[in-house]
Amino acid sequence: GDCQRWLISYKASVMGWYANAHRYIEKSSQRSTRYRARWYRRHRAKEDPWISITDHGSAVHSGHIVYGENNYGNIHASRVLPSHLGANVFIRYKVTESSCSHLDGGGWRRVRHVPPGTRWHPARDQL
């Protein structure tokens, strides 16, 4: 990914089972303060979680989805992956010098990468 579209969220916001539910985003490429967006992480939906900068419904069309799984394609992927060099997932373990240190002080370790294309990550573990 090109680090142009990103969000920071606590693990507790991502985990759990929910559908079209408000989840907290601490900050993102659109806002510097905490807010909520509607995401999906359904029990039997292998393309989940759907993590997005804005509410899922509008994010699909505007290219603001930042993560999905199970090689899911359609506009969920084609509106963002080809034009942003794919997508990355980083987890902050502790604050240290690292790549992408310009994002909220650094300390990030890349744990997943989706190359440019029209399909999301092939994992089915729901992150």
This prediction's pTM: 0.77
Distance CA 19, CA 56 (A): 10
Are the CB atoms for 70 and 47 separated by under 8 Å? Answer: yes
Tens digits of pLDDT across the chain (127 residues): 898 999 999 889 999 999 999 999 999 999 999 999 999 999 999 999 999 999 999 999 999 999 999 999 999 999 999 999 988 888 776 554 545 656 776 667 777 888 888 888 888 887 7
